Structure 1
Amino acid sequence: MGFEDVPFSITPDTALFFPGSQHVAAYNQISYACGHGMLAVMTGEIGLGKTLVIRTVMRNLPAEVKVAYLINPLLDDQELLRDIYTEFCEDPPPVGMTKSQVQAALLRHVLEGTAQGYRYAVIVDEAHRLHPEALEILRLLSNLETEQQKLISLILVGQPELDRTLMLRAMRPLRERIGVWLKLVPLHREQSDEYIHHRVRLTHCEGRFEFTQLALWYLHWRTRGVPRRINYACEKALLLAYARGQKCVSWPVARKACQEFSKVWS
């Protein structure tokens, strides 16, 4: 079929980052937040591309920005603090150190690094699953500052449950620190078409592979514009087209591809 790489990979492949308006806006604002001591929140339903935005940001941050990327939010406050220490210091804290000792050592390391021109950012994926105690630790870290600047940026990424958690009265001290609050939404029809064409263009040897207009319409309608669903459906559609010896994805092929996921997406 002429593809040099997998066009609709389910994994967050930063080489295929879609430069759609909301994703570019999220990328730009989170990149800025990482280098300027800000607290940023990005939420959205499953499959809208949150992790891909974050990993694209991390891939392109300047070397002086040190990132602690946490993908296991089901940690207590002490475990979370130790993980951040390990990410920033490149070694785990000595065994037996108390939480306050780890926090003090972490602060010293960040102060020394800041004096040398480094910036620090903590990025938490799946942040809607954080325990309240862990959120409090993150709030305290995000409050660390000198007279000139905040020392640690904090980026929270999660599903809409995170929005509801942050709106609780107990979360007011953290909520009032939020400088960027982004909410990803599904792609509309034109963006869905552009998303598919973008991935084909980057992976096909000739930069093109045809999806009929009716197939594109059907794919958007059935996937509701959710990028992860589009990937699943398009990958299946390409396999079906290849098996049939077709050089394009037609409406019957798109329909057949989506049938496999009908119960999951209902």
Structure 2
Amino acid sequence: MQSTLAVCYEELGFENIPFSITPDTALFFPGGQHVGAYNQLHHACMNGTLAVLSGEIGLGKTLIVRCVIRSLPAQVRVAYLFNPLLEFSDLLREIHSEFGGQLPGRQDSLAVLHKDLVKIVLEGASRGERFVVIVDEAHRLNSEALEVLRLLSNLETERVKLISLVLVGQPELVTTLNLRAMRPLRERIGIWLQLTPLNREECAAYVRHRVARTHRDGNFHFTSTALWWLQRKTRGVPRRINLACERAVLLAYTRQMRSVNWDLAKMACKEFSKVWR
């Protein structure tokens, strides 16, 4: 049985869900800072650069990273890690597993794991392959794990870096990297990116983009006052915008309306007011 929300979207003319909070790469917003971050991270992955992407919760960091991963050519092998709470030895095993195709035994020492990884990367480089390590939620990494990643990113030939490292996390990541003990890693960072909330124009373009990409005939819209209110109450955070818009669309459906006006936007945002303080 279809969910109430799925029926709502279908009857309003939507072919796909426009405001899901999951990182749907098909709905990537091709505007402003998101495109800039995408382009720079793609460059980092292709050129052995160490890059950092930071931003508050819900600004779209993971979506950007997944779009980058999907766009990389076949000869680029990616280790995408999203459980940084692992011990540094387990973190190295995960990278080994992604690059080598199998998870090494726990009896292997850190030195053996590192040696095997170097061998895998060097052999791959001889075939024209590139290697990328992307760590999501990197603000949770401890200093030992960061040091292991730094040493791994040192791997290079006379001409090129063999492993690109991308660290993605909340602002606490930048705080950690600015510590004196992190200087060896910090000085290797070639790209620093920080996402900020969407302004009024960007918020309007973001909502309209998602409707345009998912609606069958474009016969559904958000009024300018609704968009203004959404940006004000969500403070331009895409995840909040999605939650509020999803609720507003459902309210429009219950009223048999083909648009979201200021009243509906206000009611939708009010339901989240206690959470968004």
Could you state the TM-score of these two structures normalised by the residue count of structure 1?
Answer: 0.99
Unaligned runs of 5+ in 2: 1-11
Of 74, 82, 91, which residue of structure 1 is paired with 2:93?
82
Query: Per-residue displacement from partner, 1:76-96 (whole Å, max 9, x unpaired)?
Result: 110000000000111111342
Of 162, 181, 187, which residue of structure 1 is paired with 2:192?
181
Alignment of 1:170-209 (within 5 A): 170-209=181-220
Match of 2:8 in 1: none
Alignment of 1:264 onto 2:275: yes
Alignment of 1:83-162 (within 5 A): 83-162=94-173
Alignment of 1:23 onto 2:34: yes
SS of equivalent residue, structure 1 residue 42: strand
Of 58, 66, 75, which residue of structure 2 is paired with 1:55?
66
For 2:156, the aligned partner's letter is E
Choose 203-212 or 227-236, whichever is displaced more.
203-212
Paired with 1:84 and 1:205, the residues of 2 have a C-alpha distance of 42
Match of 1:244 in 2: 255
Q: How far is the alpha carbon of 1:252 from its aligned partner?
A: 0.8
Paired with 1:31 and 1:7, the residues of 2 have a C-alpha distance of 26
Query: Per-residue displacement from partner, 1:10-33 (whole Å, max 9, x unpaired)?
Result: 100000000111010100110010
Alignment of 1:219 onto 2:239: no
SS of equivalent residue, structure 2 residue 274: helix
Q: How far is the alpha carbon of 1:207 from its aligned partner?
A: 2.9
Query: Per-residue displacement from partner, 1:182-207 (whole Å, max 9, x unpaired)?
Result: 00000000000000000000000013
Alignment of 1:39 onto 2:12: no
| C-alpha contact 1:200 1:208 (8 A) present in aligned 2 | no
For 2:96, the aligned partner's letter is Y
For 1:153, the aligned partner's letter is S
Change (3 A) 1:104 1:190: same
Change (3 A) 1:157 1:208: farther
For 2:152, the aligned partner's letter is L
Paired with 1:167 and 1:221, the residues of 2 have a C-alpha distance of 32
Paired with 1:254 and 1:145, the residues of 2 have a C-alpha distance of 53
| C-alpha contact 1:75 1:131 (8 A) present in aligned 2 | no
For 1:226, the aligned partner's letter is V
| C-alpha contact 2:219 2:258 (8 A) present in aligned 1 | no
SS of equivalent residue, structure 2 residue 133: strand
Paired with 2:63 and 2:244, the residues of 1 have a C-alpha distance of 19
Q: Identity rate of aligned residues, in percent?
A: 63
Query: Per-residue displacement from partner, 1:160-184 (whole Å, max 9, x unpaired)?
Result: 0000000000000000000000000
SS of equivalent residue, structure 1 residue 67: strand
SS of equivalent residue, structure 1 residue 19: coil
Unaligned runs of 5+ in 1: none
Query: Per-residue displacement from partner, 1:63-114 (whole Å, max 9, x unpaired)?
Result: 0110000000001110000000000111111342111101100100000000
For 2:33, the aligned partner's letter is Q
SS of equivalent residue, structure 1 residue 264: coil
Aligned-residue Cα RMSD (Å) equals: 0.7
